[in-house]
């Protein structure tokens, strides 16, 4: 088959009685908002992807090498389709990118039109399994469900929800609300703000007056940082130990964003994720060290960077195994790849094209890092539609594990 049909051309070189196969270079798109209102998370995703590209290209026996074509939408939703169309129009068939669900949904029709694959490395709200997307970020049964269980066991049943006004917040709050109510709890209020909004005086007053057991935040970017700082300040002025009395819990807060919050509110934030830079394994220590060496100016490594790194590694291995860039061959090949990622073993579920991942819950410390307070003992199956599993942390265990019931 010809290169135009999507297969790699492989050159065979002979030397004496031996031969070796030269790695073929494949152009891939990288689409992250390295500027704009949520740039801290997106720049870390870009770094994670580029770290993986560098490792792949530096490997002496690499079967495939990657040439990244980078595009920055600047957090402007309208720019995503145009930049994506440009990448796909250049013949790129695999793009690693997007942070928000809005941006992902904007570009999926283009991948369907061009018979291409989006490798989406962000945690998200689930309820999607697109044929042209490989998902390496966490879904609700891997981040939100464990968080709800943890907070209701250890903090209380009255929750106040605050979020950015788009699908990530709407859907996560819906899932949280249904599960809190089923367990006899109550959602005191839901408040939504435009991405980038920084005026939270009124809602903070409402939260302090309501005195919930915890606040669930789906704010992103500069909105999240401003809210956390101001909420801590207002509570302190009223003599309230906010981190203990009304902790803020999230499924999106990561290490790069802790650095953006600032010292006055960095400690005591709760986050549910499949990766923290404090995962205590030799594999993760090596990953963090190489990331820090390659990107000394930051942002710090976190879950978003790790998910992008995983996406590129899986993409390269699938390209090599498929012997080409044709998406059906690559999708079949990626289902057979298992990698020892910084978070632990990761692989793609062939039914949903989502990743098996290991849930954890962390509490931020003064060094702008997370102390892991509980976590699963193994990866759990992705359940983007919340139909296969019920999951909860085993409170009776000294080393909590995640129970998964079919």
Mind listing the pLDDT tens digit for each residue in 327-367?
999 999 999 999 999 999 999 999 999 999 999 999 999 99
Closest CA to 386 of 352, 335, 346, 340: 352
Distance CA 369, CA 259 (A): 9
Instruction: Give me the mean pLDDT over the 79-91 stretch.
Output: 97
Tell the CATH topology of 3-138+280-356: Rossmann fold (3.40.50)
Closest CA to 144 of 163, 121, 123, 118: 123
Tell the CATH topology of 141-278+359-405: Rossmann fold (3.40.50)
pLDDT of residue 238: 95
Residues facing residue 339 across a β-bridge: 346
pLDDT of residue 399: 35
Which two tokens mark 167? Answer: 């699908």
Q: Kindly tell me if the per-residue pLDDT of 17 is higher than 60.
A: no
The helix or strand, by DSSP H or E, that contains position 67, with its residue range, turns out to be strand 64-71
Mean pLDDT of the chain: 90
pLDDT of residue 41: 93
DSSP string, 242-263: HHHHS-EEESS--HHHHHHH-T
Inter-CA distances, 27 with 21, 73, 87, 118, 244, Å: 19, 19, 10, 14, 49
pLDDT of residue 298: 93
Q: Kindly tell me if the per-residue pLDDT of 224 is higher than 50.
A: yes
Percent of the chain residues topping a pLDDT of 70 = 90
**Phi and psi, residue 70, nearest 5°:** -100, 135
Closest CA to 75 of 100, 104, 96: 100
pLDDT band of residue 241 (cuts 50, 70, 90) is very high
Q: Kindly tell me if the per-residue pLDDT of 20 is higher than 80.
A: no
Instruction: Give me the mean pLDDT over the 77-88 stretch.
Output: 97
Distance CA 307, CA 73 (A): 20
Q: Kindly tell me if the per-residue pLDDT of 4 is higher than 70.
A: no
Q: Kindly tell me if the per-residue pLDDT of 92 is higher than 60.
A: yes
pLDDT band of residue 23 (cuts 50, 70, 90) is confident
pLDDT band of residue 61 (cuts 50, 70, 90) is confident
pLDDT of residue 312: 98
Residues facing residue 370 across a β-bridge: 364
**β-pair type (117-120, 133-135):** parallel
Distance CA 74, CA 59 (A): 32
pLDDT, tens only, 107-149: 999 999 999 999 999 999 999 999 999 999 999 999 999 999 9
**β-pair type (214-218, 344-348):** unpaired
Instruction: Give me the mean pLDDT over the 73-88 stretch.
Output: 97
Q: Among the listed ranges 246-255, 295-304, 387-396, which one has the minimum average pLDDT value?
A: 387-396
Distance CA 161, CA 222 (A): 18
pLDDT of residue 1: 28
Residue 108 contacts residue 133 (beta carbons within 8 Å): yes
Distance CA 372, CA 230 (A): 25
Cβ neighbours, 10 Å, residue 297: 6
CA 387 from centroid of its chain's CA atoms: 21
Q: Radius of gyration over alpha carbons of the chain, in Å?
A: 21
pLDDT band of residue 379 (cuts 50, 70, 90) is very high
Closest CA to 53 of 215, 295, 237, 392: 295
Distance separating the N- and C-terminal Cα atoms of the chain: 43
Instruction: Give me the mean pLDDT over the 316-324 stretch.
Output: 96
- Strand, helix or coil for residue 270: strand
Give the residue, 200 or 406, on which the prediction is more confident.
200
Predicted TM-score (pTM) of the model is 0.89
pLDDT, tens only, 156-176: 999 999 999 999 999 999 999
pLDDT band of residue 405 (cuts 50, 70, 90) is very low
pLDDT of residue 22: 58
Domain limits of the chain?
3-138+280-356, 141-278+359-405
**β-pair type (94-97, 133-135):** unpaired
Burial class (CB in 10 A: 0-12, 13-18, 19+), 81: middle
Q: Which residue has the tokens 């998902």?
A: 135
**Is the Cα dihedral 396, 303, 101, 258 positive or negative?**
positive
**β-pair type (158-164, 214-218):** parallel
**Phi and psi, residue 364, nearest 5°:** -70, 150
- Strand, helix or coil for residue 380: strand
Residue 171 contacts residue 124 (beta carbons within 8 Å): no
Domains 3-138+280-356 and 141-278+359-405 are alike in CATH topology? yes
Torsion angle, CA of 44/45/50/53, rounded to 10 degrees?
Answer: 140
Distance CA 158, CA 184 (A): 9
């Amino acid at each position: 088959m010809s290169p135009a049909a999507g297969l790699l051309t492989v050159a065979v070189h002979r030397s004496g009685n031996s031969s070796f196969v030269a790695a073929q270079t494949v152009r891939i798109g990288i689409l992250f908002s390295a500027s704009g209102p949520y740039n801290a998370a997106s720049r870390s995703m870009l770094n994670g992807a580029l770290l993986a590209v560098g490792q792949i290209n530096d490997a002496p026996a690499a079967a495939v090498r990657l040439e990244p074509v980078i595009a920055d939408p600047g957090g402007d939703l309208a720019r995503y389709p145009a930049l994506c169309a440009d990448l796909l129009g250049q013949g790129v068939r695999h793009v690693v990118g997007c942070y928000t669900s809005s941006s992902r949904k904007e570009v999926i029709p283009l991948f369907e039109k061009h018979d291409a694959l989006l490798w989406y490395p962000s945690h998200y709200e689930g309820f999607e399994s697109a044929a042209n997307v490989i998902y390496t970020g966490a879904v609700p049964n891997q981040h939100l469900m464990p968080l709800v269980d943890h907070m209701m066991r250890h903090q209380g049943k009255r929750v106040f929800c605050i979020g950015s006004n788009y699908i990530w917040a709407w859907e996560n709050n819906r899932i949280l609300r249904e599960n809190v109510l089923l367990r006899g709890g109550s959602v005191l209020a839901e408040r939504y703000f435009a991405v980038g909004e920084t005026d939270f005086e009124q809602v903070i007053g409402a939260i302090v007056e309501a005195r919930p057991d915890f606040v669930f935040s789906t704010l992103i970017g500069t909105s999240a940082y401003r809210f956390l700082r101001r909420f801590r300040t207002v509570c302190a002025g009223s003599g309230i130990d906010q981190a203990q009395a009304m902790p803020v819990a999230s499924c999106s807060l990561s290490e790069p964003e802790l650095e953006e919050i600032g010292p006055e509110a960095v400690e005591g934030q709760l986050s549910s994720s499949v990766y923290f830079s404090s995962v205590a394994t030799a594999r993760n220590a090596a990953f963090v060290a190489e990331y820090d060496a390659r990107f000394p100016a930051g942002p710090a490594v976190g879950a978003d960077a790790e998910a992008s790194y995983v996406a590129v590694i899986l993409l390269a291995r699938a390209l090599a195994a498929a012997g080409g860039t044709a998406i059906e061959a690559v999708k079949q090949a990626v289902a057979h790849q298992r990698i020892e990622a910084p978070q632990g073993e990761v692989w793609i579920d062939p039914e949903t094209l989502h990743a098996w991942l290991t849930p954890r819950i962390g509490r931020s410390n003064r060094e702008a890092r997370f102390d892991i307070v509980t976590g699963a003992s193994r990866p759990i199956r992705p359940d983007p539609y919340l139909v296969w599993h019920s999951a909860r942390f085993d409170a009776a265990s000294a080393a909590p594990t995640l129970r998964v019931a079919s």
